[in-house]
Amino acid sequence: MAFDIKFCNLKFVSDLGDERKCDHNMTPSIYLNLTKLHYLGSIYPKTDPNGSPLESLDRRKRSLKYHCTPDRKIRPVPSKRNGAAMNRIENDPAGGGCDNAGNDELEEFSDEFKCCVCLDLIYKPVVLACGHISCFWCVFEAMDYWHESHCPVCRHSYNHFPTICWLLHSVLLKLYPKDYQRRERQVSADEKTNGTSSPQFENPTNPTISNDKTTKNVAVGDLLCTVCKQLIYRPVVLNCGHVFCETCIVDSCDGPCRCPMCQSMHPNGFPKVCLVLEGFLEQNVPEEYCVRKTAVNNRKGVTIPGSTQVPEGGQCSSVSIEEYLSNPGRTKVHFGIGCDFCGMYPLVGDRYKCEDCLENVGLDVCENCYKNSSNLSGRFNQQHKPDHKFKIVEPRPIIFLSSEFPEEDHTHVSQEDQTDDDSSHNSHQDLEGGEDIGPTS
């Protein structure tokens, strides 16, 4: 997966330690050996070199992907009724004409299944290592271009984009079929205008939930852990999207744990219990869950992996981005590029790009996945075939547009406020003004 980075407002220090300011005439090759990045965002005066993203660049990134959302007019809010009724009224204009069908009987979904980013029912759920859930696109959009990303809810850091949890997807589809289908229509309409695509539910190895329409409850048989063959107790969701009992995951001391089902690594630290899923299990099959609970609690001498202190973050299959920044000159970072297989974003190390995938988003994998996985597939529904050829691609050069870097003192004297605002405004205009100078890749 790749998105264009064309413009940024960066200053860099080369290997030799000399500081350069860049203008657009400098040749890209000069920048290949970037070692240390300094963010000089005038919007974020408190930003430290390894801190948060530059606002203006971030905005470029967003607008690249956001250009599609149609302009929507506000509708007067009729009256204060309950949440579901409001949602119903609300969703009409939001989703365009195609949403109207079947809107008359939308289910009222539980707040637990409301995505904290789009504030709608979670669609194609992705569970982060901290156990918090968001929609596929919401997680993707919220990820950091330059550094490790942070969970929107708890700010837990991670640098691998997890795969969709298909079990949770089926559960949601079962619980709220109409609302979930409404979301599906909405998202696929957005994807169509965006020219993007999210994974489709087709993999036969993923657990499915029987589509028995007579009952709203999900059968216990569909909620089994593939390791212990029992009802999942304290569910954890791995980077590959598979769900297991917390106790069934082997916590290997040397390196990240692996998925017992697909053997892929879980690089985002030891996974935390997904409380929303646990809450669902407790509610959906209370008796069976209670039985499991007592059974596990009675088993003496079993340590719950989560209770042994696992250091937070930092356990990655590859060199972490922060490590790279503090340890320059060793590895390459491909800003804005992610590994399609393990989800590492940005991609660190050698980047293998598929030469035959024609989708805009492209298909890239990291060195580790390239060497260790035989059956590579894309994360954005790319039509990748095993006979496709890969080539190693160097990090893309970063073109610097703004030659002026306003050094900003954090403490303002009130009279200066107005001028500060003006200067930041100007720098945005500079960025946008030079739009056509960047490379197209």
Partner 1 sequence: MVDFSRVQKELQECNRDINVSGISVNPKSDNLTNLIGTIPGPIGTPYEGGTFKIDINLPDGYPFEPPKMKFATKVWHPNISSQSGAICLDILKDQWSPALTLKTALLSIQALLSAPEPDDPQDAVVAQQYLKDYQTFASTARYWTESFAKISSLGVEEKVQKLVEMGFPEGLVRSTLEVVGGDENMALEKLCSA
Among 14-22, 52-60, 278-286, 309-317, which window interacts with partner 1 (CB under 8 A)? Answer: 52-60
Tell the smallest beta-carbon distance from residue 44 to partner 1 (Å): 5
Q: Is 116 in the site for partner 1 (CB under 8 A)?
A: yes
| Cα four-point dihedral sign 139, 321, 53, 65 | negative
Tell the smallest beta-carbon distance from residue 190 to partner 1 (Å): 10
Containing H/E element for 20? Answer: strand 19-20
Applying the rule CB under 8 A, the residues between 143 and 172 that interact with partner 1 are 150, 152-153, 155
Would you give the end-to-end CA distance of the chain in angstroms? 13
Interface residue with partner 1, options 24, 32, 62, 188 (CB under 8 A): 62
Which positions ≥6 away from 96 have C-beta within 8 Å?
70, 189
Q: Is 413 in the site for partner 1 (CB under 8 A)?
A: yes
Interface residue with partner 1, options 34, 106, 120, 172 (CB under 8 A): 120
Q: Is 76 in the site for partner 1 (CB under 8 A)?
A: no
Tell the smallest beta-carbon distance from residue 154 to partner 1 (Å): 9
Separation between Cα atoms, residue 86 and residue 81, nearest integer Å: 6
Count the site residues for partner 1 by CB under 8 A. 53
Separation between Cα atoms, residue 143 and residue 133, nearest integer Å: 14
Q: Is 189 in the site for partner 1 (CB under 8 A)?
A: no
Q: Is 412 in the site for partner 1 (CB under 8 A)?
A: yes
If the CB atoms of residues 110 and 372 are measured against partner 1, the closer one turns out to be 110
If the CB atoms of residues 93 and 306 are measured against partner 1, the closer one turns out to be 93
Separation between Cα atoms, residue 60 and residue 158, nearest integer Å: 23
Taking alpha carbons only, the member of 327, 281, 264 closest to residue 50 is: 327
93: phi > 0 → left, psi -120 to 50 → alpha, else beta; which? Answer: alpha
**CB 133 within 8 Å of CB 92:** no
Per CB under 8 A, residues contacting partner 1 are 43-47, 51-52, 55, 58-59, 61-63, 66-69, 71-75, 77, 80, 86-87, 90-91, 93-95, 116-120, 138, 141-142, 150, 152-153, 155, 410-415, 417-418, 420-421
